[in-house]
């Protein structure tokens, strides 16, 4: 077996399942595919694995970058590839887990052959409103626009940039992915249950000190990636008096539900990933055992 991917939307419990699976298999380590858990000083709002988790199973690509540094899917994938090859040479199985779609895709299928970003064009596109970008995207590649999350400006900018630079529709570049480099599994939960888990997670994050964590970052010039961390903007609004504590919890839960919805949409398109249906009665261990039975 080359490697494993344990995926799922935020709040699905994939990280806990990955830890249980690594312990169950006995010869595995975890490589994060999360765009935000790479940052130091932000373990609570990025939902990074705890010290206990990392004692149980060794984790890679967690808490090693300064929040002023930008993270990049291609660079992250290359780092993950080096770590993965080292683990395999040592007889260990890499388990990749996290919810950042492009990061997962680059690790599982190789870095996209699409044209690299152009700083001049990127700046020009980012100066436009989301509505203007969507209109332009639909004009040059209606099919590509239809397959893009048009509520996410970052995705719209990058996909439109690919079309404009490459001179071909988005579908051309998406058909050039390599075959997946391992088996993938996705933790699937009922939407109502997932929403409840997300609400509890938001409350737990606030109890554990997320507000103090964000307050300590005041004056730090956060990178574009770090600045997109879920909950960051909402906590900053709270610290500036624009939200009450109750409104803060609701705002974080809402933003997380919206993100999880986009993740579910992406995961449904990834036909190489096997769904693992989870209920409220399932434990991380029982889900890990289900996956272990399906390993080829």
Give the sheet arrangement for strand 183-188, strand by strand: 59-60, 28-32, 93-97, 4-7, 183-188, 273-277
**Closest residue by Cα to residue 16 from 28, 26, 33, 30:** 30
What is the pLDDT averaged over residues 132-155?
90
Q: Is residue 272 over pLDDT 70?
A: yes
CA distance 266 to 292: 24
What is the pLDDT averaged over residues 256-282?
94
pTM confidence score: 0.84
pLDDT at residue 176, rounded to an integer: 64
pLDDT at residue 62, rounded to an integer: 98
What is the pLDDT averaged over residues 55-68?
97
pLDDT at residue 151, rounded to an integer: 85
Distance of CA 123 to the CA centre of its chain: 24
pLDDT at residue 170, rounded to an integer: 85
What is the pLDDT averaged over residues 7-33?
97
* Contact present, 230 and 11 (Cβ < 8 Å): no
Distance of CA 232 to the CA centre of its chain: 16
Residue 224's alpha-carbon distances to 69, 128, 229, in angstroms, are 8, 17, 10
Q: Report pLDDT digits (tens) over 106-123.
A: 899 887 777 877 888 999
Q: Report pLDDT digits (tens) over 230-248.
A: 999 999 999 999 999 999 9
Q: Is residue 252 over pLDDT 90?
A: yes
pLDDT at residue 113, rounded to an integer: 73
Residue 120's alpha-carbon distances to 126, 127, 139, in angstroms, are 10, 11, 21
What mean pLDDT, rounded, does the chain reach?
Answer: 93
């Amino acid at each position: 077996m080359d490697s494993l991917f344990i995926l799922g939307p935020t709040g699905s419990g994939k990280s806990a399942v990955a830890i249980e699976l690594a312990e169950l298999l006995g010869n595995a380590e975890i490589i994060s595919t999360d765009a935000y858990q790479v940052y130091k000083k932000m373990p609570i709002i990025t939902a990074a694995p705890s010290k206990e988790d990392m004692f149980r199973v060794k984790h890679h690509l967690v808490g090693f970058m300064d929040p002023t540094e930008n993270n990049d899917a291609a660079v992250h994938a290359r780092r993950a590839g080096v770590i993965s090859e080292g683990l395999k040479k040592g007889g260990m199985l890499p388990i990749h887990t996290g919810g950042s779609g492009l990061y997962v895709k680059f690790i599982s299928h190789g870095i996209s052959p699409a044209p690299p970003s152009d700083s001049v064009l990127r700046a020009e596109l980012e100066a436009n409103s989301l509505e203007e970008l969507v209109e332009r995207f639909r004009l040059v590649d209606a099919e590509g626009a239809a397959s893009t999350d048009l509520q996410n400006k970052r995705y719209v900018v990058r996909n439109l940039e690919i079309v404009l630079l490459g001179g071909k529709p988005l579908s051309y570049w998406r058909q050039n992915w390599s075959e997946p480099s391992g088996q993938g599994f996705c933790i699937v939960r009922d939407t109502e249950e997932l929403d409840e888990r997300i609400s509890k997670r938001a409350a737990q994050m606030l109890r554990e000190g997320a507000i103090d964590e964000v307050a300590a970052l005041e004056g730090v010039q956060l990178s574009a990636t770090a600045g997109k961390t879920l909950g960051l903007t909402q906590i900053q609004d709270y610290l500036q008096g624009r939200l009450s504590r109750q409104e803060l919890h609701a705002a974080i839960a809402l933003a997380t539900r919206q993100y999880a919805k986009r993740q579910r949409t992406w995961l449904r398109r990834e036909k190489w990933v096997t769904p693992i249906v989870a209920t409220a009665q399932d434990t991380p261990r029982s889900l890990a055992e289900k996956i272990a039975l399906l390993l080829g």
